[in-house]
């Protein structure tokens, strides 16, 4: 027997379209993103992957994506669990900055180190920056990061993976996790056992469900990397994410 896990990155957001570093800034889906979320749900329904429970971050682009996809799959009624540990990587002082301008200002090596290295975080955001989450009531009682690298994301996402997601999988539920490019990269790194240096090459497209069948004993993926429900669209979109910022 295997357990079924579906990972879904939110649809395109207004800031994805404007090429801005987003992180914990709570931006809306844009029209294209709405469509991607609905299509993601239609793919789930067409392929017979019907979630029994959904886990989301506390950010509206993931929450809305889950709502739209589940509605399209006629699974709008399933239980919902939300946790900040599934949030996007906090992008520190880069939040709100344009990716192309940042690339031009700091050069490709620094830009890619901040975007995709495993353990080098961007500079910290100051508490009085308009894009800081300091004092946001949804994080009351939780540590609000001032920046994060992917390693930090993995370290804060794993406790929720173990205590929140794994029990649902082990109960035999089909689990949907609706989250973000970098929080999903952290989960994928963990699941597939990807080396620190190799995770740089992993990108997640918006709105295309990624299905993992997990061994019931070890929770190891039966197929490394899982299966995108629309493989052709995923391949093109992955390349576009990898190239963001570059002209």
Ligand X SMILES: O=C(O)[C@@H](CO)OP(=O)(O)O
**What does the binding site for ligand X look like in residue numbers (CB under 6 A)?**
16, 21-23, 88, 91, 115, 181-182, 241, 244
- Angle, vertex CA 58, rays to CA 26 and CA 12, nearest 5: 50
**181 known ligand binder:** yes
Q: How far is the CB of 88 from ligand X (least distance, A)?
A: 5
Structure tokens at 83: 């946790």
Q: How far is the CB of 166 from ligand X (least distance, A)?
A: 25
Structure tokens at 2: 């295997």
Q: In what order do the strands lie in the sheet with 80-82?
A: 80-82, 53-56, 175-179, 2-9, 210-215, 227-228
**Catalytic: 88?**
yes
State CA 224 to chain mean position distance: 18
- 88 versus 168: smaller Cβ distance to ligand X: 88
- 22 versus 83: smaller Cβ distance to ligand X: 22
Candidates 10, 36, 55, 180; catalytic one: 10
Q: How far is the CB of 181 from ligand X (least distance, A)?
A: 4
**Catalytic: 124?**
no
Q: How far is the CB of 175 from ligand X (least distance, A)?
A: 22
Candidates 42, 55, 76, 88; catalytic one: 88
Whole-angstrom distance, CA of residue 165 vs CA of residue 175: 8
**39 known ligand binder:** no
Report how far apart, in Å, the C-alpha atoms of 233 and of each of 20, 206, 229 are.
23, 10, 9
Strands 80-82 and 175-179: unpaired
Annotated binding site for substrate: 9-16, 22-23, 61, 88-91, 99, 115-116, 181-182
User: Where in the sequence numbering do the catalytic residues fall?
Assistant: 10, 88
């Amino acid at each position: 027997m295997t357990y079924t896990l579906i990972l879904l990155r939110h649809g395109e957001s207004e800031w994805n379209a404007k090429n801005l570093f987003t992180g914990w800034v709570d931006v809306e889906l844009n029209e294209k993103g709405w469509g991607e979320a609905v299509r993601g749900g239609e793919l789930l329904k067409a392929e017979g992957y019907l979630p029994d429970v959904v886990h989301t971050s506390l950010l509206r682009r993931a929450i809305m994506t889950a709502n739209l996809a589940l509605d399209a799959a006629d699974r709008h009624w399933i239980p919902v669990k939300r946790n900040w540990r599934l949030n996007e990587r906090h992008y520190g002082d880069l939040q709100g900055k344009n990716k192309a301008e940042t690339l031009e200002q700091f050069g490709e090596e620094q830009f890619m180190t901040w975007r995709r290295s495993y353990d080098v975080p961007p500079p910290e955001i100051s508490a009085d920056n308009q894009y800081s989450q300091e004092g946001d009531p949804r994080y009351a009682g939780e540590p609000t990061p001032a920046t994060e690298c992917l390693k930090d994301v993995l370290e804060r996402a794993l406790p929720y993976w173990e205590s929140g997601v794994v029990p649902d999988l082990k109960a035999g539920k089909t689990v949907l996790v609706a989250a973000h490019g970098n929080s999903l990269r952290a989960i994928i790194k963990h699941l597939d056992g990807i080396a620190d240096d190799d995770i740089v090459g992993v990108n997640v497209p918006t709105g295309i469900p990624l299905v993992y069948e997990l061994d019931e004993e070890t929770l190891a993926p039966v197929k490394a990397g899982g299966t995108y429900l629309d493989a052709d669209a995923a391949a093109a979109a992955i390349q576009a994410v990898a190239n963001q910022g570059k002209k």
